[in-house]
Amino acid sequence: MKETEVSEPVYCSEGIRVLRAHDLEAKGWEQRTVGDRTRIEELRGLYSALGFETATTELDPSTFGEACTTCAVSACSGYVALFTRAGKRDG
């Protein structure tokens, strides 16, 4: 790239792969959000109280990309993705 060219901004979430996402989505799960484990546990409780099943899965650090530096490696490595699907109803 030439010095006068300006590159497009790259955001942290762009292109980050969520492990097992395709498998979960194929089984009716919907990805809700990505966050640190403590916050995700709070959200799991909320979604469970609303009658949803919940599941979490890790992010793939190898897909963090060039824009991600040591902060992403240290911070995002502890992040998980939250998935939900409608709970099974009795009766």
The values of phi and psi at residue 45, to 5°, are -60, -40
Predicted confidence at residue 10, as pLDDT, reads 42
Model confidence pLDDT, tens digit, residues 60-70: 777 666 666 66
Domain boundaries, the chain: 35-85
Model confidence pLDDT, tens digit, residues 17-27: 777 888 888 99
**Residue 67: partners with Cβ closer than 8 Å, 6 or more residues away:** 10, 11, 12, 14
Model confidence pLDDT, tens digit, residues 34-78: 888 999 999 999 999 999 999 998 887 776 666 666 666 666 777
DSSP letters spanning 55-70:
EEEEB-GGGS-TT--H
The values of phi and psi at residue 33, to 5°, are -165, 170
